[in-house]
Amino acid sequence: MPKYHDEIDAVLRALADPTRRAVVERLAKSPAVVSELAAPFSMALPSLMQHLRVLEDAGLVTSHKHGRVRTVTLRPGAFDILHLWLDEQRTPAERQADRLGIHLVRTEPKDS
Amino acid sequence: MPKYHDEIDAVLRALADPTRRAVVERLAKSPAVVSELAAPFSMALPSLMQHLRVLEDAGLVTSHKHGRVRTVTLRPGAFDILHLWLDEQRTPAERQADRLGIHLVRTEPKDS
């Protein structure tokens, strides 16, 4: 699955940078315009735009322009591929514990 | 929380490299000795050892030596901090969907 491997690679490379992570953390609260995203960082706008491009290429954010204002949004399901990869890395012991966990939820009294 | 930020930074930097990710994927199946981990990669042993050190520093793997043989193990709960971070990045809409999901599981007939 080369496509899957390329995608997970792009997502993890994008998230390995603390500035890009801070942008994602901000966008998880709500969409934001570029100037708003730039404000907390002492960074030239072109550098921020480059970070946004990496996030967009990794499928983590989308952006659209209204007049001169560009709004950036965290893509719904942005982290699905990372959740999938993490799920695949569960050890045999963790899979067993997970199955036990599911059993406990299903047999829990409904009014608790 | 500077410690948390350093930890998540170390984990994501460690996982952003495809060789280190392949090592993690192999270790998710079972612990392995270093020579076994090196086999699929056309890589000098010192380079592999350096990758293992990055994974170990990020808290993702542990290793111990018996005689001349070093065994590497994926640390239980290795990805807890990444799950925590991902959980924090859920958008308001996703949080609402998750609550609905929990409701559906709880009202599901037990014998289905």
Angle at CA of residue A3, ends A22 and A50, nearest 5°: 35
Percent of chain A with pLDDT over 70: 88
What Cα–Cα distance (Å) separates residue A71 from each residue in A27, A31, A51, B35? 10, 7, 15, 50
Taking the Cβ of residue A92 and every Cβ of chain B, the question of whether any pair is shorter than 8 Å is answered with yes
Q: Do A9 and B30 touch (CB under 8 A)?
A: no
pTM, full prediction: 0.84
Give dist(CA B109, CA B112) in Å, integer: 6
* Band of residue A112 on the pLDDT scale cut at 50, 70, 90: very low
Q: Is the pLDDT of residue B43 over 90?
A: no
Write down the H helix ranges in B30-69: 34-38, 45-57
Tokens of B104: 């559906």
Instruction: Give the bridge partners for B39, in sequence order.
Output: none
Mean pLDDT of A87-95: 87
Residue B106's pLDDT is: 54
Residue A56 burial by Cβ neighbours in a 10 Å radius (0-12, 13-18, 19+):
middle
* B22 Cβ under 8 Å from any chain A Cβ: no
**Chain A closest CA to B50's CA: distance in Å?**
18
pLDDT, mean over chain B: 88
Q: Which of residues 47-76 of A touch B (CB under 8 A)?
A: 74, 76
Condensed to tens digits (0 to 9), the pLDDT of residues B51-71 reads: 999 999 999 999 999 999 999
- ipTM over 0.85? The verdict is no
Q: Is the pLDDT of residue A79 over 90?
A: yes
CA–CA min distance B40, chain A (Å)? 17
Share of chain B above pLDDT 70, in %: 88
**Residue keyed to tokens 């308001």:** B92
Q: Is the pLDDT of residue A64 over 50?
A: yes
Low-confidence winner among A3-12, A26-35, A97-106 (lowest mean pLDDT): A97-106
CB of A56 closer than 8 Å to CB of A91: no
